[in-house]
Amino acid sequence: MLHIILFGPPGAGKGTQAAFLQEKYNLIHLSTGDIFRYHIKNNTELGAKAKAFMDKGQLVPDSLTIELLESEVIKHADAKGFIFDGFPRTSAQAEALDNFLASRNEAISALLSLEVPEAELKSRLAERAKTSGRADDADPKVIENRIAVYRKETEPVKSHYQALGKHIKIDGIGSISEISERLFVAIDAL
Ligand code: ADP
């Protein structure tokens, strides 16, 4: 099975690119951010818990996030593989994911890391705020915090997969189709 982690800071284009990968490789796209937003919209207990963290640009606690992710994977028994978007976001989540997949005799195929400079991220997020309706896109302080949390908590996930020889850098600057093409080339070479 093909298990891809689509990795990168907020605004790197993970969600946009995941849609293309899902279609081309017939994978299930799991975005923890989207799943949390779905729960918030539907006023679930999990949604209420997650919202308090998300609105401040903080991470939702690992225990909640890991449990949620595993339950989503289990739902798709017939999947050909997954695109993990926005997960794992901490070293603990990466270890939990590896162990979970190992328990199913599976493993991550590659982590594809979209590389985008910080100034570009900020301008993309400010642009997205105009249409996304996301509270965490609208406030520059929250954006700063999300990028800071990314550098501190999420970037170590790269080293985790680098050590396993599974980290692939993708230039995240260019047109949407140019970037998809780079991702396709990387996946086809796996
Ligand atoms: P972005 O990549 O633009 O920051 P996401 O939709 O991936 O947006 O995530 C939005 C928010 O949801 C994050 O700032 C965080 O609060 C929460 N979140 C999403 N995925 C995770 C995760 N794996 N662990 C903890 N919190 C998460």
Please give the average per-residue pLDDT across 145-174, as a whole number: 97
What letters, b where the CB count within 10 A reaches 16 and e where it falls short, cover 125-137?
beebbeeeebebb
Distance of CA 152 to the CA centre of its chain: 16
**pTM of structure:** 0.96
Q: How high is the pLDDT of residue 66?
A: 98
Q: For 56-102, what is each residue's pLDDT tens digit?
A: 999 999 999 999 999 999 999 999 999 999 999 999 999 999 999 99
Instruction: Give the chain's domain count.
Output: 1
- Cα 6 to averaged position of ligand 1 atoms, centre (Å): 13
- Cα 62 to averaged position of ligand 1 atoms, centre (Å): 11
117 band by pLDDT with thresholds 50, 70 and 90: very high
Among this protein's residues, is 128 annotated catalytic?
yes
Among 49, 51, 124, 134, the active-site one is 134
Range of the domain at 140: 2-188
Report the CATH number at residue 21: 3.40.50.300
Q: For 123-152, what is each residue's pLDDT tens digit?
A: 999 999 999 999 899 999 999 999 999 999
What's the chain's average pLDDT? 97
Q: How high is the pLDDT of residue 150?
A: 97
- Cα 57 to averaged position of ligand 1 atoms, centre (Å): 8
